[in-house]
Amino acid sequence: MQRTRSEQLYAQAKTTMPGGVNSPVRAFNSVGGQPLFIERGSGPYLYDADGNRYIDYVMSWGPLILGHAHREVTAALKNAIDRGTSYGAPTKREIDLAELVCEMVPSIDTVRFVNSGTEATMGVIRLARAATGRDQIIKFSGCYHGHPDALLVKAGSGVATLGLPDSPGVPEGATRDTLIADYNDLDSVRTLFDANPGTIAGVILEPVAGNMGVVPPADGFLHGLRQLTSAHGALLIFDEVMTGFRVDRGGAQALYGVTPDLTTLGKIIGGGLPVGAYGGRSDLMSLVAPAGPMYQAGTLSGNPLAMTAGLTTLQILQRPGVLEKIIGQAERLCRGIGEAAAAAGRTIYQTRVGTMFCTYFTAAQVTDWESASAANTEAFAKFFNAMLTRGVYLAPSQYEAGFTSLMHTNEIIDQTIEAAVEAFRE
């Protein structure tokens, strides 16, 4: 497989952009390779600058649940673009998307659109602090919430893949009020509440952790957090930037039947364009300016193209059977990968929730960051490269989730499994 053109572009990119990429994990650092430069995407496929075709399980890191360049999304965007790209004034399309989000996600009464998941978590933390008059936030080791200073502590894949404990440049003061608990460990949360009475504003987590591979919540974990936060007058915040509309139409909160006070969204809600959102109980959301005093703003927020792509994507996901089909394909894939590993005598630990999946190269169960970080990243890197050579594009890190889309048909899944059979043998 020829990759000369990608190699040339990478060298060129590095002269004008730090590390040659605009988001770190893209650089393939942890799998010992060079990033592919992409020409175009179509359905389940990516095409690189050398003309190679890959079955894609990154799907732009989650947003493209309908596949690349979905016909209806593209048509809606073409129609929208002729009416201008941004107005900095309200539009009906924002109402349409807001209404659909409020209908689909159980805990969301009202919603604020922003431009990225990072912006959403930054806003939601400010809101939790404004609403409670408290400063401390509990987050979990291995959960990623974008890169607001306060949340860039023990933040899973991106930082861990680079071997950075945490990022330099984050002042101590910015993380002084960030407390760290262990995922799936209610006692670690209880201890923090007991040690800090009356000062914890909220607990933020990925209700299915998707930035240390894929770690499902243990039985009772989310319910336990709901009880603990309520008992201590703190807010429960689900970061559903990844899980929203992907593990269930109503997100992880619908799947597990736990109602958070506030929720962040991103990725799928923008249908492949840059969007984030935060929402929740209307008494809390009414604190957000201009309804209330908590300031948060954005020049491009509610962008008409992003709203159009998000709205079209969610409307398609609402159709009967669509999400079920995508989940079914993820099941089929995981079953096949499991059988392929067993046939080759390889030990792996697989996890899947809805359309998110991960293959850990470890024998032990993965339930938190500690057990996830015990995985054999060298074995993963070999598997990754063996799959890439066979035309399958997995996320270039052991600690990222894989995603299926509506375009991953049985045939595509079976081709992937055949590649896995050979890759495990190799």
Residues catalogued as catalytic: 144, 239, 267
Q: Report whether 359 contacts 376 (CB < 8 A).
A: no
Query: Is 129 or 267 the residue whose CB approaches ligand PLP more closely?
Result: 267
Cβ at position 52, least distance to ligand PLP in Å: 26
Q: State the minimum distance, in angstroms, from the CB of residue 268 to ligand PLP.
A: 11
Binds ligand PLP (CB under 6 A): choice among 30, 52, 116, 253: 116
By CB under 6 A, residue 63 contacts ligand PLP: no
Shortest separation between residue 270's beta carbon and ligand PLP, angstroms: 8
Q: What gap in Å lies between CA 221 and CA 187, rounded to an integer?
A: 10
Which C-beta is closer to ligand PLP: that of 175 or that of 385? 175
DSSP E strand boundaries for 167-242:
178-181, 200-205, 235-239
The residues near 143 (Cβ < 8 Å, ≥ 6 apart) are: 154, 155, 156, 183, 204, 205, 206, 209, 211, 212, 239
Q: Which stretch binds ligand PLP (CB under 6 A): 66-74, 100-108, 115-123, 385-393?
A: 115-123
Smaller CB distance to ligand PLP: residue 140 or 393?
140
Site for ligand PLP in 237-276 (CB under 6 A): 239, 241-242, 266, 276
| Least Cβ distance, residue 365 to ligand PLP (angstroms) | 22
Element (H, E) at 24: none
Nearer to ligand PLP, 401 or 421 (CB): 401
The one-letter code for the residue type at 253 is Q
Contact segment (CB under 6 A) with ligand PLP among 4-12, 132-140, 236-244, 345-353 equals 236-244
Choosing from 41, 44, 117, 304, the residue that interacts with ligand PLP (CB under 6 A) is 117
Count interface residues toward ligand PLP (CB under 6 A). Answer: 15
Tokens of 4: 């000369």
Beta carbon of residue 159, minimum distance to ligand PLP (angstroms, whole number): 13
Name the token pair of 218: 């243990």
CA-based nearest residue to 57, from 349, 321, 330: 330
Name beta bridge partners: 138: 179, 203
**Which C-beta is closer to ligand PLP: that of 144 or that of 380?**
144
User: By three-state DSSP, how is residue 11 classified?
Assistant: helix
- Residue 174 is encoded by which pair of tokens? 């910015």
Do 237 and 281 meet the contact criterion of CB atoms below 8 Å apart?
no
DSSP assignment string, 283-347: HHHTTBTTTSSB----TTTT-HHHHHHHHHHHHHHHSTTHHHHHHHHHHHHHHHHHHHHHHTT--
Edge-to-edge strand list for the sheet holding 53-56: 38-42, 45-48, 53-56, 392-393
287, 128, 239, 321: CA torsion to nearest 10: -40
Subset of 127-186 contacting ligand PLP (CB under 6 A): 144-146
Q: Are strands 235-239 and 200-205 parallel, antiparallel or unpaired?
A: parallel
- Please report, as residue ranges, which positions from 181 to 220 form the binding site for ligand PLP (by CB under 6 A): 206, 210-211
| Interacting span for ligand PLP (CB under 6 A) from 134-142, 235-243, 289-297, 354-362 | 235-243
Closer residue to ligand PLP (CB): 242 or 247: 242
Q: Which residue's CB atom is positioned nearest to ligand PLP? A: 117
Query: In the bound complex, what is the minimum distance in angstroms from residue 215's beta carbon to ligand PLP?
Result: 12
Q: What distance in Å separates the CA atoms of residue 133 and residue 292, rounded to the nearest whole number? A: 15
Nearer Cβ to ligand PLP (243/385): 243
CB of 21 to ligand PLP, least distance (A): 14
Among 118, 313, 404, 405, binds ligand PLP (CB under 6 A): 118
C-alpha neighbours within 13 Å on the C-beta side of residue 20? 17
Q: What is the DSSP letter of 149?
A: G
- Of 6 and 178, nearer to ligand PLP (C-beta) is 178
CB of 238 to ligand PLP, least distance (A): 9
Residues that bind ligand PLP (CB under 6 A): 116-118, 121, 144-146, 206, 210-211, 239, 241-242, 266, 276
